[in-house]
Amino acid sequence: MINNKLNHSYYIKTIIICIYLLIIQNYIIAQNTNSWIHYDQKYYKIAIVQEGIYRLYLSDLVGAGIPTGTFQTKNIQLFHNGLEQALYIKGEEDGIFHESDFIEFYANRSNGLSDTVLYENKRFSMKLLI
């Protein structure tokens, strides 16, 4: 009789622990990795074809459809994989982006390395099956 009560108590504790772990896993697994994003700001994507130093002039930004008259040079930031990157802005002293000013930065092209953990067999992850 005592052994039966101990088994019952053990099963109840095990069930409670399992339910607790099922509930808590949503909070542990669902970490927000986009905490660097401020949704009240505008962001623009720059396509990087190969690794190297890039220089963007006012004409490049205007050609890409970026409204250059609305931003100040002191507020320009560059991010890659959620981390802020170093950049040099020529002419940022007066806070206005002129025709001769430019933004210069070093960039790595996206290589998909952060996505490799999503694939069990990496040999087949890039094949297109038709």
In the chain, % of residues over pLDDT 90: 15
- The answer on pLDDT for 12 being more than 70 is yes
Question: What was the pLDDT predicted at 49?
Answer: 84
Question: Region 82-95: what's the mean pLDDT?
Answer: 86
In a domain, 127, yes or no: no
In a domain, 36, yes or no: no
In a domain, 68, yes or no: yes
In a domain, 116, yes or no: no
- The answer on pLDDT for 108 being more than 70 is yes
In a domain, 117, yes or no: no
Residues 60, 101, single domain; the answer is yes
In a domain, 11, yes or no: yes
Q: Is 53 helix (H, G, I), strand (E, B) or coil?
A: strand
Question: DSSP label at 31?
Answer: -
Residues 26, 71, single domain; the answer is no
Residue 59 makes CB contacts below 8 A (sequence gap 6+) with 99
Question: What was the pLDDT predicted at 56?
Answer: 93
Residues 56, 105, single domain; the answer is yes
In a domain, 121, yes or no: no
Query: Does the reported pTM lie above 0.85?
Result: no
Lowest pLDDT segment from 89-93, 94-98, 110-114, 118-122: 118-122
| Residues 73 and 22 sit within 8 Å (Cβ to Cβ) | no
Q: Give the residue numbers spanning the domain of 56.
A: 52-109
What domain count does the chain have? Answer: 2
| Most confident of the following: 32-36, 53-57, 79-83, 109-113 | 53-57
Residues 17, 61, single domain; the answer is no
Q: Is 128 helix (H, G, I), strand (E, B) or coil?
A: coil
